[in-house]
Amino acid sequence: MNNSRRDFIRKTAIAGAAMMAAPSVFGSEAAKRRQKAADAVVPFKLKYAPAFGMFNEHCGADLLDNIRFCHDMGFRAMFDNGLIGRPVEDQVKIAGEISRLGMELGPFVLYADFSVTSFVLNKPEVKEMLINKMKEGAECFKRTGVKWALMVPGRYDEKLQRDFQTANVIDNLRYCCDIAEEAGFTIVLEPLNTIHDHPGLFLNGIPQAYAICRAVDRPSCKIVDDIYHQQISEGNLIPNIEAAWSEIAAFHLGDNPGRKEPTTGEINFKNVFKYIYSRKYDGVLCMEHGLSDKSKDGEVRVIQAYRECDNFEV
């Protein structure tokens, strides 16, 4: 994308965000609208991270244009669940542009097979599979510098008592941590809701994930707290974040119901973000959600929703 077209798109998106924020075009409201436009390029307080493709109506499908557009809108991070599956040249290209702009790239998915029992089993073939996965993750880290690799422990085993499964998960994670620590990256475990989206999975709550991380007792084993999933699984979002704080390394975002941008559901994201900011959190909050409106205006609305929720007093 050439610079003139990029500048035009940037100004259009900023103007759109300002217009949506302003209830009137007359009198003092015009001044407010101009201020909103100016604020639109100010970096957010927290590192909210859009996914590649979230703003395709504005910036197209080009990877670098995606990064530059998000930076222009005030975002200082991005995430790519499928990073490890991209061609090596694309991985390097993404990492280079992220670094050049002083941004950060959030966790990529290293292992998340929802269809099989894996971590919960004490079997040589499971250990071998996990070691091979970790080696792939180490290579991706070397190329990109992305320091978090997301892992989901898979399904629970209906024929094995849960405490034995927990012990197996802990042992298997320690094998994984040996490789992660030698390479220099961190595993982040993601609890997922089993009520609506992922029935049958072993790991489904923040207290459970916290207990496992404490038992593994390695600096390379942490949690990614998915606000959408945890609102469904257990609610009590801020108290659980506070209780598990020492083991949380990243966040995923999405409102409930619907898994769309903040302000579309029941979660008070402004208060959640304010609490996270109060803890001096400097990590990534991945915008792992859809858009309530997939049009160009809908993309502007996503940016404005984050502006609204990021507008908390500090």
Q: Give catalytic residues, as residue numbers.
A: 190, 288
In sequence order, what DSSP letters do the residues of 138-182 get, joined into one string? HHHHHHH---EEEE--BBPPTTS-HHHHHHHHHHHHHHHHHHHHH
Task: Give dist(CA 239, CA 210) in Å, integer.
Answer: 13
Residues 6+ apart with CB under 8 A from 97: 63, 64, 67, 68
Query: E strand or H helix at 108, and its extent?
Result: strand 108-111
Neighbours of 47 (CB within 10 A): 22
Residues 6+ apart with CB under 8 A from 107: 79, 146, 148, 149, 150, 188, 224, 250, 284, 286
Alpha helices in 44-161 (DSSP H): 56-59, 63-72, 88-100, 124-144
